[in-house]
Each structure stands twice: as structure tokens, then as C-alpha cells.
């Protein structure tokens, strides 16, 4: 749970930065904010809320695109977007997913202010 919370905080902080920064806001989904306390209903209409961390939810614009990992973009486009995010304090974009349109990155998802490594207390 601690790991999930730290990832959530790093991602939502990054979305807040990106959605309010003129250089980034057009290439990220619109960020609508944290949505705690939601009820999650499955396709069959049953409440499945207990299968989720419902206080770790945020809402963003739906982007209709087949996303690919950022490494699928050209080296120049990859460098351009990574530098742009890092310029604004968003340092974890290595496994971001992107929408490519004619080789150009039009949208980016799955980024964070920092990388949050998963570790187990017995491995230290």
C-alpha cells in the first residue's frame, strides 16, 4: 500500500504540473483531479469497490488512441519530449506511453515526478 500511495502521489503531482504548464498541457490528457471515495461497479453491475484502492484514484481526459511506449518514437522525438518534461520537474518518463501521429508525439500518459522503486522489506 505504501508503494502504491507513493506512485499515486508522484503521478498526480506530475499531472498537476503538466496540465498547468503551457509547454506541456497540450500533450497530456486534461487532468481533472483526485477522485477519492468512488464506488466501482463491474460490467455485471456488481459493486467491486473492495478490489481497488479507492482513495488512490484520479480522473483525466479520455484520449482515443492506441498508445505505445515512448521508446517506439524516433530518437529525436523521444529526446524532445523527455527534455520538455524534465525541464518542468517531471523526471520519470522512461516507461511513459505515447500517442504517435505521423511520427510526432501528440499525447503522453503514465509519467511521474520521480521513479518509485518497488522493494520488499526482506530484500534490504
Q: Are 14 and 112 in contact (CB under 8 A)?
A: yes
93 burial via Cβ count (<10 Å: 0-12, 13-18, 19+): buried
pTM of the shown model: 0.85
pLDDT at site 62: 95
pLDDT at site 123: 55
pLDDT at site 121: 62
Residue with cell 506511453: 97
Amino acid at each position: 500500500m505504501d508503494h502504491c500511495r507513493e506512485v499515486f502521489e508522484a503521478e498526480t503531482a506530475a499531472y498537476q504540473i503538466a496540465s498547468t504548464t503551457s509547454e506541456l498541457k497540450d500533450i497530456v490528457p486534461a487532468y481533472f483531479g483526485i477522485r477519492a471515495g468512488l464506488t466501482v461497479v463491474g460490467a455485471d453491475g456488481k459493486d467491486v469497490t473492495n478490489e481497488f484502492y479507492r482513495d488512490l484514484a484520479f480522473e483525466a481526459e479520455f484520449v482515443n488512441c492506441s498508445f505505445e511506449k515512448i521508446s517506439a518514437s524516433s530518437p529525436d522525438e523521444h529526446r524532445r519530449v523527455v527534455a520538455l518534461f524534465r525541464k518542468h520537474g517531471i523526471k520519470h518518463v522512461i516507461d511513459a506511453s505515447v500517442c504517435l501521429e505521423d511520427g510526432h508525439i501528440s499525447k503522453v500518459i503514465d509519467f511521474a515526478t520521480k521513479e518509485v522503486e518497488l522493494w520488499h522489506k526482506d530484500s534490504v
